[in-house]
Structure 1
């Protein structure tokens, strides 16, 4: 028997939806989290794809995600959209507000979506990329349970606190930058522990604050920010945007995504900007600039590789490990 399974994207989506529904998710929530996980997997991000989807299924079963939660969406001001996920997943509130967010940005030049009381959102880049696919510039930030040390400290005080940015490119896939404030994502530490292999130096410290290459000790200690003080400062900035503005839990107060029955109560910040109102030629100029950077200066442009991977997966299906497939398939039966 092969160690992998190749699935058409439609089959993967149905499998994930069914599994979530069987564990108590509403049709809306099941569709929303399944689409996000399958897209991440198809774009070559397995750590936040179907492997991470198992965390969603476990959390539905254990109560960390309220599968029947209805996001409450309000408009505090004409260009502001506030969502309370009410203990559900991060995606349904954004999905419900997406068309309104796009229309508001096109009308006012910019619009802001913020959300509180949600489970963590997985691949953050999708939130910004969807706006770029609609012709907008997107900036997204999110937090979750404390995992990385702050500047000068050795105890976890911030989540990996990623920041994502996307912009539309004429006749091509969006520019998409999606990176955590930590030297690596927590899921990579966890995967190394499962596989029994060491992690590189500079990724984490143990519970005593000493550098470690043992992923099990790293999970008892703290991840390190990329670039030292600069990365830690970005993590703090993300914390203020995602948790401070929305009223979500600070990372220090957020509950675990893998233990207990409490929702982490994380926050999400998504800013949408209409570039055509500032420069009608924006997407063409950006395309020309990115071509110049790539062709003449050898600069790697983030975004196109994910688009190519998704196109290949749409054509050929996507290959996932059999253990991950069996976990999701088992939940769907």
Structure 2
């Protein structure tokens, strides 16, 4: 059977139509679509177009403010605070990173927080936006508690992503986008949709035991699994400090959790001008030298390498739509009364 694929342009048109039908204002719909397609093109399918039905439902159900009045303020010279007004998290986070880059252009470093936000998809979308503008970008946030601490059975942390990207002219850059859990919860949902078995040491059942069955999973393990999960748990604490404590928003244990319908969420972004400490040519030479070091041994890649390979394939051939995902998108289009022809 031939694999069904759709172009980014086709999926973007569908996404924009579904989100605006659900009530989103044009800017929010465009930013949310862009963040999802970023993930889909790079092979991060857990945070890609499969989230469209979820976001549309959040808008219709009143979880997200469909037409937020986003405000921007500057509490300090190198800092920006963006109030998302309970809207979708993508647009305010892009704005926070844009502002952080503008500050970094002046002072060398800019940082920002987003408050009163909701789920913002793949953290890497915003880090890469900074890199594309010529800055080192860093992004993190906490999320609803469904990740157990090392040795525990009760969730305390969220998947709490950490993302970083560095600029490099005319080449794909260093690019990190990771959950501090073993896998993102959205990947468990994707495995359910596609009928796939979970990897070992990834998710736990209601008894607190690791399971391979995505339908039995109720929470996740930290990065490092049953043997070295203290590392993932510690990184999740970093996201808690910057995403919740620094923003005054909800801790992971105070959020809704597995349903991902969290509100009053905080995000943290930072942009660094690489020419602050060394000439840009030196930074670029060191950056390229690091990446080139991976070419010495076949089969190894730096962070970002698998994503760039996926992007080449998907830009040329389209984004794969597994049967379950295709059905979910068709249902979302039907609910929105939008034409569906993928």
TM-score by length of 1: 0.90
Q: Which SS does the other structure have where 2:32 is aligned?
A: helix
**Residue number in structure 2 paired with 1:268:** 267
Instruction: Encode CA deviations 1:284-327: one digit per residue, 9 max, x unaligned.
Output: 22102210233258641122443343355444443424324413
Equivalence map 1:287-306=2 (5 Å): 287-295=288-296, 299-306=300-307
Equivalence map 1:65-104=2 (5 Å): 65-104=64-103
Q: Which runs of 5+ in 1 are unaligned?
A: none
Alignment partner of 1:323 is 2:327? yes
Looking at both structures, which has the greater relative contact order when contacts are Cα pairs under 8 Å and sequence separation is at least 6?
1
Instruction: Encode CA deviations 1:29-73: one digit per residue, 9 max, x unaligned.
Output: 111101111121112122211112221112112111111112222
Q: Is the 8 A contact 1:84 1:115 kept in 2?
A: yes
Q: Is the 8 A contact 1:63 1:263 kept in 2?
A: no
Q: In 2, Cα distance between the equivalents of 1:32 and 1:62?
A: 20
Q: In 2, Cα distance between the equivalents of 1:189 and 1:49?
A: 14
Relative to structure 1, is the Cα distance of residues 210 and 312 closer, same or farther in structure 2, using a 3 angstrom cutoff?
A: closer
Q: Is the 8 A contact 1:294 1:301 kept in 2?
A: no
Q: Is the 8 A contact 1:145 1:264 kept in 2?
A: no
Q: In 2, Cα distance between the equivalents of 1:278 and 1:41?
A: 35
Alignment partner of 1:224 is 2:225? no
Q: Is the 8 A contact 2:96 2:114 kept in 1?
A: no
CA RMSD of aligned residues (A): 2.3
Equivalence map 1:124-135=2 (5 Å): 124-135=123-134
Q: In 2, Cα distance between the equivalents of 1:98 and 1:32?
A: 13
Instruction: Encode CA deviations 1:162-218: one digit per residue, 9 max, x unaligned.
Output: 111111124301210111111111122223334455423311222232333332332
Alignment partner of 1:19 is 2:23? no
Relative to structure 1, is the Cα distance of residues 119 and 332 closer, same or farther in structure 2, using a 3 angstrom cutoff?
A: farther
Displacement of 1:274 after TM fit? 0.7
Q: Which runs of 5+ in 2 are unaligned?
A: none
Equivalence map 1:127-206=2 (5 Å): 127-206=126-205
Aligned residues: 328
**Residue number in structure 2 paired with 1:6:** 6
Alignment partner of 1:108 is 2:112? no
**Residue number in structure 2 paired with 1:242:** 243
More strand by share: 1
